[in-house]
Structure 1
Amino acid sequence: MKISSLVSRVAACAVVGLAAQGAWAQAGGTLDKVKQSGAFTMAYRESSIPFSYLDDKAQPVGFGFEICNRIADEVKKVTGRADMKVNLQAVTSANRIPLLQNGTIDIECGSTTNNVERGKQVAFATNYFYTGTRFLVKSSSPVKKLEDLAGKNVVSTTGTTNYKIMRGLNDEKKVGFELLGAKDHAESALMVQSGRAEAFAMDDILLYGLRASSQNPAELAVVGEPIQVEPYAIMVRRDDPAFKGLVDGVLAGLMKSGEFEKLYKKWFQSPIPPKGINLGVPMSKELQENMKALSDKPAAP
């Protein structure tokens, strides 16, 4: 065999191997991937309190993260991989979807809004929380509502629906604020605390969490009427009905057994790490209804 022919064949085999490695999502899906690799990768957020965040030991914890662990247990059982390794990967608002699409992560149980636009790129499990955009400000701030932001700097985390909502409102209602972007929620909150922004626009539940975990919660306030109530849902890859079915099944089991409500009370109505502060957030009417409906309906466009 000629050297050139051998090289061509080796190169062809390499290409085929890479193609096969990248095609699992379309062919077998997440469960087949886990069966073959023995590994399952869960994504966590570093400051999405109380869904997914780092505690005082820099370990991921939270409502969504705990549910993710229940899902990992079911994946281990269904795939028959008792030796399955659970890998953890930190993600941001900007990179969570690309990392899911390219196979770096297998699931994200954080504070991701389920909407139509994202549904073109990923799939969402049963909605497991509902929230609306409000504002984190200093307690001494005169800002109480959207119109009070005129002429002021407003920050929101890039890659979030809240950033887009605020940009759209500014254009539509001609409010006249300067919209700034930050890489994550912690940086956005810091910009308010340091005076670089008058308000941080984000999902109200995340703002309550950030306020509770700050050095002096009394210095911050969450204000404004909720803008556009939206659902949060666990994010998985598209075109993988077997895995989405598993995730939906775990959620349905938790919701029907009463375990979901216990987890909710643990993370939203009880002292949580790192400071033992109780967020005191009652379960919304929308979430109570969805525990019966088990819907994965996206937010209104």
Structure 2
Amino acid sequence: MRFLALCCLALAAGASSAQPGDTLEKIRAAGSITIGHRDSSIPFSYVLGTGDEPVGFAIDICKEVASAIKSKLGVANLTVKYQTVTSQNRVPLVQNGTVDMECGSTTNSMARQQLVAFGPNYIVVGVSAAVKKSSGINSFADLAGKTIATTTGTTSIPLLRAYKKTDNVEVSEIYGKDHSDSFLLLASDRASAFVMDDVLLAGQIAASQAPAEYKILPEALRQEPYGIMFRKDDPKLKALVDATVTDLMKTGKIDAMYAKWFTSPIPPRNVNLQFPMSEATKALYRNPTDKGV
């Protein structure tokens, strides 16, 4: 409740003290907001086809924020523009103002908080690995001597390297430019495993040609929270994002949004990820926080 109260107080204070140069004023002047999105972060932020607007759980949350921005600014029309970002360029594009919010599958980490700001965490995921069922791989220890795929610019890379060092597991690393590219390395047997956040692995498996051929290892290298990313030192935007996302949690609206993307059939193949809400995510919704890992 203290977090919610602080959010609302900051939002109310910002209503009467708008200063030129902040993100909300930038959006007001442009008549538009630019949302950074991923093209293959199923089910958070992805596109169904060339030229299509992105869809996903994170996109739906950011649409709520965009609606709140429109109401706060009191504008009749607010154009929502979308800009594709990658694991490598998402932070710089937020910092330089190319995108106003990044709505993808970005871990809220202490290291990233030195560069950008985050709204309340909206899910907790586990960093694990997808393998083929026929591979005989049942644990991270079984990856010794194998080639492992992961996506460039993600937190999975340092976690994998730390695991290798701690457990003396020798593996070769190969990198995909995005999650679909990394999964293709596994599907084509160029890699024996794809290390990534478990729910993203579930999304890639569900979208594959043969979902029954894959499994996700039960182990996790670390639990990580995701959040909406935006520029640092912008208290008015921070207050609005915090209040909007917190309200989704406190009213229970986010529960229906979660069910839509994680426990119901989703496009493009109408496969149900069957990824029920974890106790860690339920705890987030009861007590919203923007704490990073």
TM over 0.5: yes
The higher-RCO structure (CA 8 Å, 6+ apart) is: 2
1:28 maps to which residue? 21
Decide whether the 8 Å contact of 2:56 with 2:261 is kept in 1.
yes
Using the TM superposition, give the Cα deviation of residue 257 of structure 1 relative to its aligned residue in structure 2, in angstroms: 1.3
CA offset digits 1:146-205 (Å, max 9, x no partner): 111111100110110011111221123220001122111000000001111000000000
2:37 to 22, 33, 44: 44
- 1:139 and 2:155 matched: no
User: Secondary structure of 1:135's match?
Assistant: strand
Gaps of 5+ in 2: 1-18
- 1:75 and 2:51 matched: no
Structure 1 length-normalised TM: 0.88
How many angstroms apart in 1 are the aligned matches of 2:98 and 2:138?
Answer: 41
How many angstroms apart in 2 are the aligned matches of 1:279 and 1:55?
Answer: 17
1:200-279 matches, cutoff 5 A: 200-279=194-273
How many angstroms apart in 2 are the aligned matches of 1:221 and 1:109?
Answer: 27
1:170 maps to which residue? 164
Using the TM superposition, give the Cα deviation of residue 56 of structure 1 relative to its aligned residue in structure 2, in angstroms: 4.9
The share of aligned pairs that are identical, in percent, is 46
Using the TM superposition, give the Cα deviation of residue 275 of structure 1 relative to its aligned residue in structure 2, in angstroms: 0.9
2:6 maps to which residue? none
How many angstroms apart in 1 are the aligned matches of 2:32 and 2:54?
Answer: 18
User: Secondary structure of 2:217's match?
Assistant: strand
2:142 to 135, 142, 148: 148
CA offset digits 1:96-119 (Å, max 9, x no partner): 000000000000121100111000
How many angstroms apart in 2 are the aligned matches of 1:225 and 1:73?
Answer: 39
- 1:117 and 2:117 matched: no
Using the TM superposition, give the Cα deviation of residue 83 of structure 1 relative to its aligned residue in structure 2, in angstroms: 2.5
2:96 to 93, 102, 108: 102
How many angstroms apart in 2 are the aligned matches of 1:99 and 1:215?
Answer: 33
User: What letter matches 2:24 in structure 1?
Assistant: L
How many angstroms apart in 2 are the aligned matches of 1:211 and 1:87?
Answer: 29
2:46 to 46, 53, 71: 53
User: What letter matches 1:136 in structure 2?
Assistant: A
How many angstroms apart in 2 are the aligned matches of 1:227 and 1:130?
Answer: 13
Decide whether the 8 Å contact of 2:36 with 2:103 is kept in 1.
yes
Q: Which runs of 4+ in 1 moved over 3 A?
A: 56-59
How many angstroms apart in 1 are the aligned matches of 2:248 and 2:85?
Answer: 26
How many angstroms apart in 2 are the aligned matches of 1:284 and 1:82?
Answer: 39
How many angstroms apart in 2 are the aligned matches of 1:159 and 1:184?
Answer: 9
Structure 2 length-normalised TM: 0.91
2:4 maps to which residue? none
Greater percentage in strand: 1
User: Secondary structure of 2:220's match?
Assistant: strand
1:197 to 187, 191, 204: 191
How many angstroms apart in 2 are the aligned matches of 1:132 and 1:105?
Answer: 27
How well do the aligned residues superpose, as a CA RMSD in angstroms? 1.3
Gaps of 5+ in 1: 1-25
User: Secondary structure of 2:223's match?
Assistant: strand
User: What letter matches 2:273 in structure 1?
Assistant: L
Decide whether the 8 Å contact of 2:163 with 2:221 is kept in 1.
no
User: Secondary structure of 1:61's match?
Assistant: coil
User: Secondary structure of 2:224's match?
Assistant: strand
